Amino acid sequence: AHAHIRRPWIRLLEHEMQLDQTTLRNLEILKPVSEQRQSPTLLTTLDQTKTPMGTRLLRQWIVRPLTQLTAIQLRQEAVKELVSNLGPRMRIREHLKAVQDLERLNSRIVLEVANPRDLINLQRSLENLLFLQEHLPSFQSAMLQTIHAAWDPLLDVSSWIADTIIPNPPLSAKEGGIIREGVNAELDELRILAKEGTRLLAEMETRERNRTGIDSLKVKFNQVFGYYIEVTKANLSRVPSDFHRKQTLVNAERFTTGELQDLEGRLSSADQKMKSLEGQLFGEIRLRIASATTRIQGMAQQLATLDVLTGLAEAATINRYHQPTVHEGGTIQITEGRHPVIEHIQHSEGFIPNDTVLDLDTNRLLLITGPNMAGKSTYLRQVALIVLMAQMGSFVPADSARIGIVDRIFTRVGAADDLSAGQSTFMVEMSETARILDTAA
């Protein structure tokens, strides 16, 4: 029952840039430094994904940038191709949006907790796979071609559901009314029987009215007493001897007859049988889908990758990023670089881009000085973020960049500044001091 849990795989640390907790926090990669505000982070700035699988994968790409040149270039090539193909990119994103969390649905199916609506949601999600597949052959980049080669539109799974479950099923599989007509002969027969029973009841009502001459006689049903014939007090004298009293009300009496009891028995057993049969058929289809677990999970992964790549292309377009040149040398050269997060917050004059040159020669170390609120901390982090983005395969906020691959980023930041709130390091210290002086005076 744990087929949805994937095998462990080996992660080589030397294939991933090492980012410690302090650095993740200082660079505001996943979470803002200030916990009070919902300020933007690198993740929110880059996240243009459309599926839950994509969102999860993007988080992984952000906290585990790559260190292998070829692996980085593979991602870059795919992003580049998606940047320059606006039409296909838009249509891909459109279809991705309609795909629900396949990993979650799959687990629910394997764990046998998926309800009829989960199955319909899975089927509607899978319908998009075929449309998405149409856009893949035109791409040249190796990563997109790999996705294309691995693409499995899961048409069989999709039609198992479509052929079995009605389009808008109830939430519960216990109440019946979920299985299509023509799926199971016994179920169809039971349904005819139920319909027939309703007709027989109506017929019986007319017959008893004629026989007794009581026009107000009615055959009714309630949950407690089941089926009964109701006769008003005024007409009691005309009740025939084969009516058996069931219940007495203020204005009426309720009866049953041998024929009614017989019919009732048949109807309720048909109803029970229908419900249990539908439950059983539903369990069977769910089990059948569970047999496709590996394929569904495989597609969840393909979709996640496609989603992240398309999302990075979208982010690059929206934010005017450019493709950096990543290399194995020791030079970092950035022209007109920007801080990816702060550039959106700086409204008044707009963000001022800055250049950077670092190498293994005379530019090994940069000492940055300047007035408070001049932008030192911003510049520092901007360089780190551009390198990080480049190594995760993303385009970067710079006119051009040559990035020598790094294996670690360290940061140490003194007093907590809050760049997105416009609070520099010194500003935070001054505000804190000012508050003490104001209050103590």
Ligand X SMILES: Nc1ncnc2c1ncn2[C@@H]1O[C@H](COP(=O)(O)OP(=O)(O)OP(=O)(O)O)[C@@H](O)[C@H]1O
User: In Å, how far are 104, 108, 144, 282, 285 from 293, measured between CA atoms?
Assistant: 11, 11, 23, 17, 13
- 378 sits near Mg ion (criterion: CB under 5 A): no
- 422 sits near ligand X (criterion: CB under 6 A): yes
- 425 sits near Mg ion (criterion: CB under 5 A): yes
From candidates 42, 57, 303, 419, binder to ligand X by CB under 6 A: 419
- 427 sits near ligand X (criterion: CB under 6 A): yes
Beta bridge partners of 244: 256
Report what 372 binds from Mg ion, ligand X, none; CB cut-off 5-8 Å by kind.
ligand X
From candidates 376, 400, 402, 413, binder to ligand X by CB under 6 A: 376
Secondary structure (DSSP) of 157-185: HHHHHHHHB-SS--S-SSS---BPTTS-H
Specify whether the CB–CB gap between 95 and 132 falls below 8 A: yes
Separation CA 379–CA 196 (nearest Å):
80
- 197 sits near ligand X (criterion: CB under 6 A): no
- 424 sits near Mg ion (criterion: CB under 5 A): yes
CA dihedral 419, 423, 426, 428 (to 10 degrees): -120
Minimal distance, residue 27 CB to ligand X, in Å: 13
- Rg of the chain (C-alpha set): 34
Report what 283 binds from Mg ion, ligand X, none; CB cut-off 5-8 Å by kind.
none
User: In Å, how far are 102, 262, 290 from 258, measured between CA atoms?
Assistant: 54, 6, 48
- 377 sits near ligand X (criterion: CB under 6 A): yes
Separation CA 129–CA 101 (nearest Å):
13
Minimal distance, residue 432 CB to ligand X, in Å: 12
- 424 sits near ligand X (criterion: CB under 6 A): yes
Separation CA 178–CA 186 (nearest Å):
15
Stretch that binds Mg ion, among 2-10, 248-256, 279-287, 417-425 (CB under 5 A): 417-425
- 204 sits near ligand X (criterion: CB under 6 A): no
- 26 sits near Mg ion (criterion: CB under 5 A): no
3-class DSSP assignment, residue 409: strand
User: In Å, how far are 126, 283, 301 from 119, measured between CA atoms?
Assistant: 10, 11, 19
- 377 sits near Mg ion (criterion: CB under 5 A): yes
Report what 131 binds from ligand X, Mg ion, none; CB cut-off 5-8 Å by kind.
none
Report what 5 binds from ligand X, Mg ion, none; CB cut-off 5-8 Å by kind.
none
Minimal distance, residue 305 CB to ligand X, in Å: 34
Stretch that binds ligand X, among 120-128, 138-146, 179-187, 351-359 (CB under 6 A): 351-359
Stretch that binds ligand X, among 46-54, 142-150, 241-249, 424-432 (CB under 6 A): 424-432
Q: Identity (one letter) of the amino acid at 138?
A: S
From candidates 18, 188, 246, 426, binder to ligand X by CB under 6 A: 426
φ, ψ of residue 311 in degrees (nearest 5): -65, -40
Residues that bind Mg ion (CB under 5 A): 377, 424-425
Residues that bind ligand X (CB under 6 A): 342, 346, 351-352, 354, 370, 372-378, 417, 419, 422, 424-427
